[in-house]
Amino acid sequence: MTPGPLVAVVDDDDAVREALSDVLREFGFDVEAFASAEAFLVFDATTRTDCLVLDIAMPGMTGLELQRELKRRGEQIPIVFITAHADRTLRPRVLASGAAECLFKPFTETALLEAVRSALPTP
């Protein structure tokens, strides 16, 4: 069986990280999960990651700081930001910064699937 696209999930909340990973696997994606932005960088999964599902507000390096670091390194990974801190100015700002999508928790499995599929490069 051919592996699906690799989606990296970065969220400091264990339950959210595990739930997102399970849902994405059910949709046929390969998934690597990380508890922090720093762990994602240390693991060096950037060259294999097809899409990044990234929490904005995390201790240490935030999701937005990780996005800036990836840009600094020349990495072109599509990012679907997720956040529990909804504010109507946030989504337009992260989309303007190059994110593929920004979902506000709680979101549906369908919204997640659509966001990840739209973020992935078309073959």
pTM above 0.85, yes or no: yes
Cα-only R_g, the chain: 13
1: number of CA atoms within 13 Å, CB side?
6
Kindly give the confidence (pLDDT) of every residue in the chain, 123 residues in length, as a single tens digit, with 9 standing for 90 and above.
567 899 999 999 999 999 999 999 999 999 999 999 999 999 877 888 999 999 999 999 999 999 999 999 999 999 999 999 878 899 999 999 999 999 999 999 999 999 999 999 776
Q: CATH number, domain at 68?
A: 3.40.50.2300
Residue 52 resides in a domain:
yes
Domain that holds residue 41: 6-119
